[in-house]
C-alpha cells in the first residue's frame, strides 16, 4: 500500500513498471490460457458460446464448433449482431488458436508490423534494465491488471494521459503506453483493466498475478472481488489528501485484515527508501 501526498497517476506508473517487467519474460502471454478458454467453450451449449472473431476474416462472427471428422478444432460462422440468419451456408473453419479472439477483447497475437509501437520507450524506461522481448510486443498478456477509479474509466484515463514519455525517436502518453484495450487502437494489450465503477473486467481470463488499484475506493472494490482477485497480489495507491472518512475506511479495512495478514518488515527493509512525502506499508499472508 502506497500513500501519495496528492492525486496522482501513480497507479498507472506502477502498472507500467509491472508491464515493463513482464516484457522481459518469454512466458508472459495469454496463449495457453486462451487456448484452454476456447476449448472450455465445448462444455457450453451451442447458443451460449461466446462470439469469436478471426483476425483474417474481418467482420464475420463465429463460435467454437468442436472437432471436425479429422479431429481438428473448428469454428462455425454465426449471424452478426442484429441478424437472425446468414445469407449463405455457414463457413466451418479449422483454425489456429492464436488467430481467433473473443468479441470485445484484445487480439491474442499480431504479425510483425502490428506490434505495440512503444518498444523504444519501454526499453529506455529503466536504466540498465533487462531486455524487452520483441515477441512480447506482439502478444496479449493479462497477468497485470489496473483497477481504475470508481469515478469511471474516463477519469482514470484522463489522469494517465497527463504524463508523457519521450525516448530518442518516440513520444507517447501514459494512457497509450499502458495498452489498455479500450484506450488504444492497438490490437494487443499487455494490461487488463477492471472498471471499479461497473465492476467489469475488460476480458475474461483467470485472475491476474498482480492488480494495481487506483485509489481507496478502487482498492476496497478489488478486495471485495474475490472471484477475480482472490489469489493475486495487490498494490493500492491512495491519495491521503482525501476526507477523513475515506482515510478511516482504509484503516478500518486493514485492521480487519490483520487476522489474516501481517506487515512484512523484512521486504520493507530491502526496498530502496521511498521518496519524501510518500509512505509505504507491505502486508503478507500469515
Shortest distance, position 191 Cβ to other proteins, whole Å: 20
Residues of span 71-90 touching other proteins by CB under 8 A? none
Strand-pair category, 164-166 with 171-173: antiparallel
Q: Residue 67 to residues 48, 141, 248: CA-CA distances in angstroms? A: 18, 27, 56
Q: In terms of CB distance, is 116 or 250 closer to other proteins?
A: 250
Q: How far is C-alpha 191 from the geometric centre of its chain's CA atoms?
A: 3
Rg (CA), the chain: 21
Question: Does residue 240 touch other proteins according to CB under 8 A?
Answer: yes
H or E element at residue 75: strand 73-78
Among 155, 173, 199, 204, binds other proteins (CB under 8 A): 155
For other proteins, the closer CB: 56 or 257: 257
Number of other CB atoms surrounding residue 13 within 10 Å: 15
Work out how close the CB of 214 gets to other proteins at its nearest, in angstroms, rounded to a whole number.
Answer: 13
Q: Residue 230 gets which letter from DSSP?
A: T
Identify the burial level of 139 via C-beta atoms within 10 angstroms of its C-beta, where 0-12 means exposed, 13-18 middle and 19 or more buried: buried
Tell me: does residue 150 bind other proteins (CB under 8 A). Answer: yes
Task: Judge contact between 51 and 61, C-beta under 8 A.
Answer: yes
Number of residues in contact with other proteins, rule: CB under 8 A? 39
Q: Which one of 3-11, 23-31, 78-86, 94-102 is the stretch in contact with other proteins (CB under 8 A)?
A: 3-11
Q: Which of 79, 166, 280, 284 binds other proteins (CB under 8 A)?
A: 280
CA 152 to chain CA centroid, Å, is 16
Contact status: 278 vs other proteins (CB under 8 A): yes
Closest separation in Å from C-beta 247 to other proteins: 4
> CA 272 to CA 106: how far, in whole Å?
36
Give min distance, CB of 265 to other proteins, in A: 12
The residues pairing with 280 across neighbouring beta strands, listed in sequence order, are 2
Give 17 or 152: the residue with its C-beta nearer to other proteins. Answer: 152
Residue 58, phi-psi category: left (phi > 0), alpha (psi -120 to 50), beta (remainder): left
Main-chain dihedrals φ then ψ at residue 233, nearest 5 degrees: -75, 150
Nearer to other proteins, 108 or 177 (CB): 177
DSSP for 164-183 reads EEE-SS-EEEHHHHTTBGGG
Nearest distance in Å: CB 281, other proteins: 5
CB of 261: closest distance to other proteins in angstroms?
13
Piece of the chain touching other proteins by CB under 8 A; list 17-25, 67-75, 110-118, 145-153: 145-153
Closest to other proteins by CB, 2 vs 38, is 2
Decide if residue 250 touches other proteins (CB under 8 A).
yes
**By three-state DSSP, how is residue 208 classified?**
coil
Per-position x/- string for 165-204, each x denoting binding to other proteins as judged by CB under 8 A, each - no binding: ---------------------------------x------
Residues lying near other proteins in the complex (CB under 8 A) are found at: 1-10, 150-152, 155, 162, 198, 216-217, 238, 240-248, 250-251, 254-255, 275-281
Amino acid at each position: 500500500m502506497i500513500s501519495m501526498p496528492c492525486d496522482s497517476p501513480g497507479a498507472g506508473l506502477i502498472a507500467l513498471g509491472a508491464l515493463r517487467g513482464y516484457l522481459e519474460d518469454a512466458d508472459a502471454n495469454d496463449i495457453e490460457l486462451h487456448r484452454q478458454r476456447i476449448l472450455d467453450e465445448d462444455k457450453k451449449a451451442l447458443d451460449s458460446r461466446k462470439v469469436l472473431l478471426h483476425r483474417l476474416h474481418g467482420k464475420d462472427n463465429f463460435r467454437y464448433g468442436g472437432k471436425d471428422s479429422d479431429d481438428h478444432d473448428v469454428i462455425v460462422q454465426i449471424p452478426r449482431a442484429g441478424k437472425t440468419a446468414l445469407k449463405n451456408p455457414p463457413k466451418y473453419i479449422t483454425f489456429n488458436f492464436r488467430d481467433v479472439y473473443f468479441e470485445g477483447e484484445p487480439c491474442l497475437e499480431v504479425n510483425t508490423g502490428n506490434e505495440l509501437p512503444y518498444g523504444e520507450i519501454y526499453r529506455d524506461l529503466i536504466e540498465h534494465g533487462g531486455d524487452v522481448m520483441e515477441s512480447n510486443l506482439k502478444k496479449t498478456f493479462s497477468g497485470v491488471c489496473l483497477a481504475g477509479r470508481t469515478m469511471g474509466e474516463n477519469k482514470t484515463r484522463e489522469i494517465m494521459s497527463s504524463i508523457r514519455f519521450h525516448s530518442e525517436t518516440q513520444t507517447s502518453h501514459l494512457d497509450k503506453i499502458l495498452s489498455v484495450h479500450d484506450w488504444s487502437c492497438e490490437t494487443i494489450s499487455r494490461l487488463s483493466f477492471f472498471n471499479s465503477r461497473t465492476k467489469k473486467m475488460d476480458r475474461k481470463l483467470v485472475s491476474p498475478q498482480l492488480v494495481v488499484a487506483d485509489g481507496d475506493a478502487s482498492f476496497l472494490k478489488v478486495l471485495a472481488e474475490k472471484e477475480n482477485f482472490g489469489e493475486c497480489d495487490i498494490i493500492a495507491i491512495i491519495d491521503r489528501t482525501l476526507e477523513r472518512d475515506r482515510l478511516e475506511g482504509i484503516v478500518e479495512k486493514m485492521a480487519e485484515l490483520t487476522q489474516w495478514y501481517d506487515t512484512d518488515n523484512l521486504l520493507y527493509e530491502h526496498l530502496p527508501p521511498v521518496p519524501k512525502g510518500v509512505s509505504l506499508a507491505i502486508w503478507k499472508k500469515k
